[in-house]
Amino acid sequence: MGEIVLHNYFRSSTSYRVRIALALKGIDYRYVAHNLRTGEHREETYLNVNPQGLMPALVWSDGTMIAQSLAILEFLDEVHPEPALLPSDPHGRARVRMISQMIGCDIHPVNNLRVLNELRKRYGADDAGIASWFRHWVNATFEPLEHMLATESATGRFCHGDDVTIADLCLVAQVTNNARFEVDMAPYPTISAINAACMDMPAFVDSAPARQPDAS
């Protein structure tokens, strides 16, 4: 069995999700950085690892490559069950997946770097236009998410109860990205409180973009 390798980029929110999970579970890995802004993820070296050329990609100790952060998180929870990142009951697991996918499927895909770059190239969007686009899609999901988290009894200190789940990893990574685009978090007090609770934990702090070796 070989080492575990995480191919990622410090500012990638999907990479941040996976780094948190690895830290929470105490899994050692080798950090391999690919600069998305200079196109290193499109070079042959990385495409030989992940033909899709997206971040992150986890190469497990047996050589298996797993891409897509939500798939990686569930894989880690299955092969290294403690601490669990999904509830034990079906309703709880469904709720955590729902919250995770609201962020991972409804916000992130339209706001990631390759989409923002296309807005510049195809439609001539400037920095102000890009930031407006980013904030629009965050707010479109954060408004209903805030309502859900604030009103549902299943919400606790974290998105689901008082234990960290995959939903919290997605939430924190998104809130971190929001700061770069000056998203107003005042309308989202519940989301902000959950984010603050997470950031009291070393795994979240140590995995943050600014703490990574390729941070710039």
What does the pLDDT look like over 34-49, one tens digit per residue?
A: 999 999 999 999 999 9
**pLDDT over threshold 90, residue 6:** yes
**Can you count the helices (H) and strands (E) in the chain?**
10, 4
User: Does this model's pTM top 0.85?
Assistant: yes
**pLDDT over threshold 70, residue 1:** no
Distance CA 130, CA 136 (A): 10
pLDDT band at 2 (very low <50, low <70, confident <90, very high): confident
Q: At residue 57, what is the residue type?
A: A
Give strand pairing partners of 66: 58
Q: At residue 24, what is the residue type?
A: L
- Average pLDDT value for residue range 152-165: 98
CB atoms within 10 A of CB 101: 15
Task: State the average pLDDT for the chain.
Answer: 97
